[in-house]
């Protein structure tokens, strides 16, 4: 864990920035040299610590809001957007599906800490370290589903039955339609981490469309099933009231 200094100092080293994050703090200081007026002076400098989950420029990318994307999210994917999705997915998946899954769950539980109660791995010891077998395995499943969506992006009708079956399973887990918004936001943050400056506004819009296709197909089935369950619960109440 990096210990962030309240008084961040300018790093004067030429440490590579790609796939590294500068970590500042008393445990990560070294002496660097700088030439000033022909003489050598020493100054403290941050050490670049290797971080495979960090990509150059990710901090510079701002995610578009739903308002900024607007009705574009409801438009069909263009050929150019399909290519964007396929290309960026290939790069993100290159980090490893397990790594991407862990990053995704970090964002999910940051946005909604209580959501961990919906998952089978919730009782794993030290689950908040994000290194437990159950969490990582589930992350692989989620990311693989996204990968399947990308693979079928040119033939969405073939993907819909798979998503509908997955939706029925998630009803039994206690997942609600509102949870898809959280997962969607976490997914966008994950791509931001993994793609850095390549997660441009057009790419964000394209991925928003993809997630819209996935979530809408699943929500439609879940909403019908949840309505049936609610009706089943309410009918005995009506009978009791008439008795």
What single string gives the DSSP state of each residue in 151-209?
A: HTTT-HHHHHHHHHHHHHHHHHTT--TTHHHHHHHHHHHHHHHHHGGGS-HHHHHHHHH
Cα separation, 221 vs 146, whole angstroms: 18
Of residues 162, 136, 138, the one with CA closest to residue 148: 162
Under the banding of pLDDT at 50, 70 and 90, the label for residue 19 is very low
* HSE-up of residue 70 (Cα within 13 Å, Cβ side): 2
CB 92 within 8 A of CB 195: yes
Lookup: tokens for 19: 């796939």
Q: Taking phi first (over 0 means left), then psi (-120 to 50 degrees means alpha), and beta for anything else, what does residue 38 get?
A: left
pLDDT tens by residue, 118-163:
999 999 999 999 999 999 999 999 999 899 999 999 998 999 999 9
pLDDT tens by residue, 40-96:
444 444 333 444 444 445 667 899 999 999 999 999 999 999 999 999 999 999 999
């Amino acid at each position: 864990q990096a210990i962030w200094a309240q008084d961040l100092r300018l790093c004067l080293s030429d440490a590579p920035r790609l796939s590294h994050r500068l970590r500042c703090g008393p445990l990560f200081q070294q002496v660097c040299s700088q030439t000033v007026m022909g003489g050598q002076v020493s100054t403290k400098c941050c050490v670049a610590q290797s971080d495979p989950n960090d990509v150059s420029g990710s901090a510079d990318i701002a995610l578009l809001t739903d308002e900024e994307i607007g009705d574009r999210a409801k438009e069909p994917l263009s050929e150019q957007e399909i290519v964007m999705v396929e290309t960026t997915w290939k790069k993100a998946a290159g980090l490893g599906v397990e790594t991407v899954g862990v990053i995704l769950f970090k964002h999910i539980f940051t946005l909604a800490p209580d959501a961990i109660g919906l998952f089978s791995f919730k009782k794993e010891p030290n689950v908040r370290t994000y290194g437990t077998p159950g969490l990582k395995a589930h992350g692989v499943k989620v990311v693989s589903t996204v990968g399947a969506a990308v693979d079928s992006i040119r033939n969405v009708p073939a993907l819909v039955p798979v998503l509908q079956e997955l939706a029925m399973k998630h009803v039994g887990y206690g997942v609600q339609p509102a949870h898809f918004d959280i997962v969607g936001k976490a997914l966008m943050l994950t791509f931001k981490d993994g793609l850095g400056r390549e997660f441009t506004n057009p790419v964000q819009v394209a991925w928003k469309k993809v997630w819209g296709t996935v979530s809408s197909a699943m929500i439609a089935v879940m909403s019908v099933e949840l309505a049936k369950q609610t009706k089943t619960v309410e009918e005995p109440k009506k009978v009791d009231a008439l008795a």
